[in-house]
Structure 1
Amino acid sequence: MADNNAKAQSLTARVLTIATVWAVIALVVIAVLISTLYRNNAERAFREVLLARLYNLINSVSVGEDGQLGGEVQLGDLGFSQPDSGLYWIADIVDGDDTDRLTSPSMGTLQIDVPSAGEIPFNARYERFYPTIDSNGHEIVVAETEIVLEGGTIARFRVTGSQHAVDGDVAAFSHRLYLYLGLFGVLSVFVNGFAILYGLRPLDAVKRALEDIRTGKTETLTGHFPREIVPLAAEVNALIDNNKRIVERARMQVGNLAHSLKTPIAVLLNETRGMKPEQATLVSEQARAMQQQVQHYLDRARIAAQQNSLLVRTDTAEVLERLTRVMRRLNPDTEFDLALPEGAPQLAMEQHDVEEILGNLLENAAKWANGKVSITAEAPEKIRSGSGQRPLMDILIDDDGPGMPEDQLEEALKRGKRLDESKPGTGLGLSIVSEIAGEYKGAFKLERSALGGLRARLSLPVAVR
């Protein structure tokens, strides 16, 4: 879940996605806008050409003595001479018959529907433009006007142009426009990605600096950071300093409390020398139990004060090897086998606490073993930073002793519970191990061992890399 959230909340992906979506939207809007403006300009230019040809036609036609239209028309485009080209011109007399009509050679026998002035009115200059379809099905645009010629003759003049030519020109322009803008958009995505990755590179430096802090290489966030990240680095350093002050203050208070309680307990133990044996034994046992209880809760307070510290590290292999050597010297008749994984990770715990709980378990195993104790450390498969919970490493301590019935495994972890009064002890050892492991968000439980005796499974938090 944490990894999925990290992917979903990637700053690089978020910025790149927003930049890409914005670039695509902007390019689409720009493409549509430019294409529309080009079409409007193309159609306006097309109408201006038609209008120029229309007045060229008017200037080329006159009324003869017989009242018929005549003249030599040259509009400068061979399309007016080619049949079915979509380029036509027509000059006729209003209210005249078909004999009072001049047409371009391209017209042939084609007919063009002319809408009434009511459907498409003339403008203030007595001109109008309208789309229509000739008898061969070509879409054309007509420029039309009516002029009073010599002798009061009213003539109608029309010049047409092919709508397909305009559409083809706009389509070709739009195709090139979309192609170039598409290439520009793809290039922009790569440039944006490079700019974003380059701009976020200082965050990688911050990440490496934080990793150095977690691994104990340094105690402060140091480096050359951009102006925007400097306040963040300062706040992180302030947080680390505050955390260190809290730890030191807690340790000092623990030391002061331990020192203040040491004398009263020592006085009680000293007073037992002048008491009757029965009373002395009772007071002495209770005083020592109180001493252990006080030390236990002082340790819990110390752990609570520093368990979230970023700088707490303990070398697992070093502690286990040292404790195993000590146990071999103290128990020469017992075989101690130690199996460590290659590159055993560090524990995110205070070394004193690791030594106390492991020493407790090794002493207990040696006490009950018939001749063999096995210590095995099992590292987690993946150790990564960024998750909400630290990975745990299992440490297994097995003995070949008599073991313990299943129904007594949980009972043995209760404070002060001694299941065998023949062995020395206060019954606090296993409960202390369980409570210290719990304080570090770890776990401890007893199981049946493959050696035939008891297995102590200790799960402790690993320092992330």
Structure 2
Amino acid sequence: MSTRSLTSRVLWITSVWIAIALTVIALVISHLYRQGTEASFTDLLRAQLYNVINSVSVGKDGKLEGRPELGDLRFVQPETGWYWTVTPLGDFKAPPIRSISLGQGNVPVESQEKRPFNSRYERFYRTNDSFGNAVEVAETEVLLDNEGHAARFRVIGNHKEIEHEIDAFDRQVFLVFLLFGLGSLAVNALAVLFGLRPLDAVRRRLEDIRSGKSESLTGVFPREIAPLVSEVNALIDNNRRIVDRARTQVGNLAHSLKTPIAVLYNEARRLDEGPRQLVSAQVATMQTQVQSYLDRARIAAQSATVLARTEPAPVIERLMRVMRRLHPDLRFDVEDGAGTGHLLAMEQQDLEEVVGNLLDNAAKFAGSAVRVVVEPSIREDDPGRRSWLSITVEDDGAGLDEAEIDEALKRGRRLDESKPGTGLGLSIVSEIVAEYQGALKLRRGNNGGLEAMLVLPQVDRTT
């Protein structure tokens, strides 16, 4: 979905927020769990340390005696990373004692400069034993009797075990949050799509209005967009009234001019040859323009309904037969790539007007042939919204360059005064096509002549 879509914007923002929020929460939970686990591990080592202290004393022979029972098999299994040691200090030369699990191994002692004792005369530090285990050491020094015998007591625990425990917890937490996050994204997407469905309904209703299937936005809409629907309907009604009033005024003006023009035309016949030709030509131009405005008023009235439907193939074939009789020296070919079953959303007489004008113009300037191609088309400014049909009329004459094409579309401009006409043909075609939201494109064809392409709105027979 594009960033211009309201749905994609909401989904993107909420998805990013959910991902960030769940990730941060998971990291915080993992950190808190690590802190709690490590604190519990330290408390366990401290408790075991005082158990060892309470179990060891100086015997009558001046040696250390006692065998602490810590209730944990790891202290009697070799190389587990769980040990205890008691080492005499100073002038106390008794042999040290240690747990069975340490055997002949060793756990280095951290210097007091690097790791001093705390206020309780305890210190905790991490190191590696001689077997490669990452261990944590709880250590203190205790005076054992009144004779000044002191010893260093240490309880060592395998820190790798709690790392495994924390890693397992982290995996479970992130898995749970991942599943929860995916579920939240799915629910969020459904909520957004469901919540925005009324806007999609409004869009479809507007398309119905544009295509002539409806005259206003109808249906039941949520309270939040109901005012928008009311305002759009009011705008449509106001625009319709303005268009109807303008159309009526144009039609009335054109009708009021028809009678004076007819009188001028009849009176012109009584004039001398020179003035008669000049006045008749100008009256004919006025009559053509008045008829053009009348046609535009009629087209504007009919294009707003769903009644204007014309099959192009019979109209084009009928016009081609007429052109072949009028220009027997030219070849007229038709290539219908659209097939049958296609209808144009325009009146038959308007289709005859625009295609007839293009055929007549092509026949005037063609060298030997005129070709008509009918095929489905698209509009770059309306991708995928409506169906379009293109009708291309091409001749093999001299053609026009870009500047001449722009000039040819201007009302009343004739590029070749030697050819009959009023210079209104292409202008009228362009105006009629524009009334049906179509397009007229002129360019140089493959044969060197002018290629005029009509792009007209297409509807299905079921519409």
The answer to whether the superposition gives a TM-score over 0.5 is: yes
Q: Say if 1:310 and 1:287 are closer, same or farther in 2 by CA, change over 3 A.
A: closer
**150, 158, 163: which one pairs with 2:159?**
163
- The residue aligned with 2:354 is 357
**186, 193, 214: which one pairs with 1:190?**
186
Q: Say if 1:183 and 1:350 are closer, same or farther in 2 by CA, change over 3 A.
A: same
Q: Supply the distance in 1 between the matched residues of 2:180 and 2:253 (Cα, whole angstroms).
A: 72
After superposition, what is the alpha-carbon deviation per residue over 1:267-304, rounded to whole angstroms, capped at 9, x for unaligned?
534544665566455434433333334444x469859x
Q: Supply the distance in 2 between the matched residues of 1:95 and 1:271 (Cα, whole angstroms).
A: 143
Q: Say if 1:141 and 1:263 are closer, same or farther in 2 by CA, change over 3 A.
A: same
Are the counterparts in 1 of residues 258 and 290 from structure 2 also a CA contact under 8 Å? no
User: 2:174 aligns to what SS in structure 1?
Assistant: helix
- The residue aligned with 2:35 is 40
Are the counterparts in 2 of residues 42 and 166 from structure 1 also a CA contact under 8 Å? yes
My pick for the range that moved more, 90-99 or 53-62, is: 90-99
- The residue aligned with 1:406 is 398
- The residue aligned with 1:203 is 199
Q: Supply the distance in 2 between the matched residues of 1:168 and 1:407 (Cα, whole angstroms).
A: 83
Q: Supply the distance in 2 between the matched residues of 1:225 and 1:374 (Cα, whole angstroms).
A: 54
**87, 90, 93: which one pairs with 2:85?**
90
Equivalent residues in 2 for 1:23-172 (5 A)?
23-96=18-91, 99-153=94-148, 154-172=150-168
User: 2:139 aligns to what SS in structure 1?
Assistant: strand
Displacement after TM superposition at 1:97 (Å): 5.0
Are the counterparts in 2 of residues 145 and 157 from structure 1 also a CA contact under 8 Å? yes
- The residue aligned with 2:308 is 314
Higher relative contact order (CA 8 A, sep 6+): 1
User: 2:182 aligns to what SS in structure 1?
Assistant: helix
User: 2:146 aligns to what SS in structure 1?
Assistant: helix
Q: Supply the distance in 1 between the matched residues of 2:210 and 2:48 (Cα, whole angstroms).
A: 84
After superposition, what is the alpha-carbon deviation per residue over 1:71-128, rounded to whole angstroms, capped at 9, x for unaligned?
3421111121222221111223321455243322222222222123222111111111
Are the counterparts in 1 of residues 315 and 352 from structure 2 also a CA contact under 8 Å? no
Q: Supply the distance in 1 between the matched residues of 2:279 and 2:398 (Cα, whole angstroms).
A: 35
- The residue aligned with 2:10 is 15
User: 1:159 aligns to what SS in structure 2?
Assistant: strand
Q: Supply the distance in 1 between the matched residues of 2:396 and 2:171 (Cα, whole angstroms).
A: 84
Q: Supply the distance in 2 between the matched residues of 1:184 and 1:407 (Cα, whole angstroms).
A: 68
Displacement after TM superposition at 1:33 (Å): 1.9
User: 1:19 aligns to what SS in structure 2?
Assistant: helix
Q: Say if 1:366 and 1:406 are closer, same or farther in 2 by CA, change over 3 A.
A: closer
Displacement after TM superposition at 1:218 (Å): 0.9
My pick for the range that moved more, 320-329 or 160-169, is: 320-329
Q: Supply the distance in 2 between the matched residues of 1:464 and 1:8 (Cα, whole angstroms).
A: 31
Letter in structure 1 aligned against 2:198: P
Q: Does 1:395 align with 2:391?
A: yes
Q: Say if 1:52 and 1:455 are closer, same or farther in 2 by CA, change over 3 A.
A: closer
Taking only the aligned residue pairs, the percentage that are identical comes to: 43
Are the counterparts in 2 of residues 92 and 101 from structure 1 also a CA contact under 8 Å? yes
Are the counterparts in 2 of residues 91 and 101 from structure 1 also a CA contact under 8 Å? yes
Q: Does 1:217 align with 2:209?
A: no
Displacement after TM superposition at 1:428 (Å): 4.6
Are the counterparts in 2 of residues 345 and 379 from structure 1 also a CA contact under 8 Å? no
- Superposition RMSD on alpha carbons, in Å? 4.5
Letter in structure 1 aligned against 2:37: A
Letter in structure 1 aligned against 2:250: V
Q: Say if 1:89 and 1:366 are closer, same or farther in 2 by CA, change over 3 A.
A: closer
Q: Say if 1:144 and 1:253 are closer, same or farther in 2 by CA, change over 3 A.
A: same
TM-score for the superposition, normalised by structure 1: 0.75
- The residue aligned with 1:231 is 227
Letter in structure 2 aligned against 1:314: A
My pick for the range that moved more, 12-21 or 36-45, is: 12-21
Equivalenced residue count is 441
After superposition, what is the alpha-carbon deviation per residue over 1:151-175, rounded to whole angstroms, capped at 9, x for unaligned?
1533322111111111111122122
